[in-house]
Amino acid sequence: MSWDITGMGALACVGGTPAGIFDSLCAGRGGLGPLQVFDHEKYRARQAYEIHDRARPGVDEPGRATRWLLAAIDQALADAGHSEDLAEVPVLVGTTLQEQRSAELWWREGAPLEPDALHFGTALRERYGATRTYTFANACAATLYALAMGTDLIELGEADTVVVAGTDAIGESAFGTLDRVQNDVPEALRPFDRSHRGMLMGEGAVAVVLTREAAPGRRVHGRLRAVGMNCDAQHSTAPDPEGIARVLRETHRRAEIDPADIDLVLLHGSGTPKNDSTEAAVLSRMFPAPGGPLMTAIKSMTGHTLGGSGLLSLAMGALALQRGQVPPVLGLTDPIEEAAGLRLVREEAATAELGLAQIDAFGFGGINAAAILEAAR
């Protein structure tokens, strides 16, 4: 069983299209910069991976997450050759903060805000005539949860095509909370390196058009073999190795593959010491050295794009399979002990013949998800 990805759209701090983002990743260009609109004196961390699209420097704007969501869907629909009429097409959106920043600007600065603008469904209905919209707030695994639900809708005969998307803009309350709870102050997001000190937020949106089977002659970016998900609920913040191992085994079972079949892993790689060590330890047992798949972590250049991060990794995985190219993990010079046996791509992009990719997404509360993507030949 598989589903075809016929269209992709994305924008992040390092590029305004999927290809542009991928080119930046392969070149090792990250989007880290000083906070653009938050008061630096209030926080220990003073950098983030923000999109530079505000009309006036230093002045924030409401509605940015929705704006990016529509831009990513526009790209994906055009890429798929699909009309902008989504009256009969379910749209599933994963997010962590939704339009939290818009509510903050209304509360603190009196920015105009209509309550229905806080729900993505309003903009999706106005722009595309979408009547079946769903929002998933499943932490960092939100878009892979949405992807799984999209495959269910297709398999149940509820739709032949779905649009799955994710979007998040950095909210100051969320940024401030993270700044307070992390033990150390990260200068950059450095997955699996001994210098990692924690997570820094990123911004962006991503969308894919998923269909039961592409029309003859239509380009296919990749074939989704399976999505697995669970919620181990072992701890509010700390990842549980057994919960992660279970979701990966279930995803492999659904895809009817063995770990040895996988050529590439797009790691969750949040840059937090506990998450990195747990993910690396689980994968080291699943892919014992020597050998094993190539691995990368794009958050080292995009920051943690929150609810959309899993689907953004999947889109980058599709391009990696197409091009036979794997971006490096930026800043990885001294891997943590648990990652010593993993084939992490370092320093510069790697080239390889790639057939199957695994995408990891693990969130607070043990909300875990993974996907298997097959190259379209």
pLDDT in tens, 141-170: 999 999 999 999 999 999 999 999 999 999
- Per-residue confidence (pLDDT) for residue 289, from 0 to 100: 84
Say what the pLDDT of residue 237 is.
Answer: 85
pLDDT tens for 71-104 read: 999 999 999 999 999 999 999 999 999 999 999 9
In one-letter notation, the amino acid at residue 250 is E
Q: Which residues contact 346 (CB under 8 A, 6 or more apart)?
A: 328, 329, 332, 333
List beta partners, residue 8: 208
Give the pLDDT confidence score for residue 29 in this predicted structure.
Answer: 98
Residue 195: the pLDDT is 96
**Nearest to residue 305, comparing CAs of 37, 74, 31?**
31
CA distance readout (Å), 227 to 145, 150, 192, 211, 315? 8, 10, 25, 15, 14
Mean pLDDT on 247-261 = 98
> Which residue, among 3, 2, 24, has the nearest Cα to 316 in the 3D structure?
24
Q: What pLDDT band is residue 21 in, cutting at 50, 70 and 90?
A: very high
Specify burial of residue 70 (Cβ count, 10 A radius: 0-12, 13-18, 19+): buried
Other CB atoms within a 10 A radius of the CB of residue 285 amount to: 12
For 184-237, what is each residue's pLDDT tens digit? 999 999 999 999 999 999 999 999 999 998 888 889 999 999 999 999 998 888
Q: Which residue has the tokens 């106005």?
A: 126
176, 97 in Cβ contact below 8 A? no
- Consecutive H or E run containing 360: strand 356-363
Q: Give the span between the Cα atoms of 173 and 24, in whole angstroms.
A: 30
**Domain locations in the chain?**
3-211, 223-374
Please say whether the structural domain 223-374 has been given the CATH code 3.40.718.10: no
The pLDDT tens digits of the residues spanning 100-151 come to 999 999 999 999 999 999 999 999 999 999 999 999 998 999 999 999 999 9
State the pLDDT at residue 364. 87
Range 3-211 has CATH code 3.40.50.720 = no
Domains 3-211 and 223-374 are alike in CATH topology:
yes
Residue 375 CB coordination number (10 Å) = 21
Query: In the prediction, which pLDDT does 218 show?
Result: 87
pLDDT at residue 71, rounded to an integer = 98
Q: Is the pTM of this model over 0.75?
A: yes
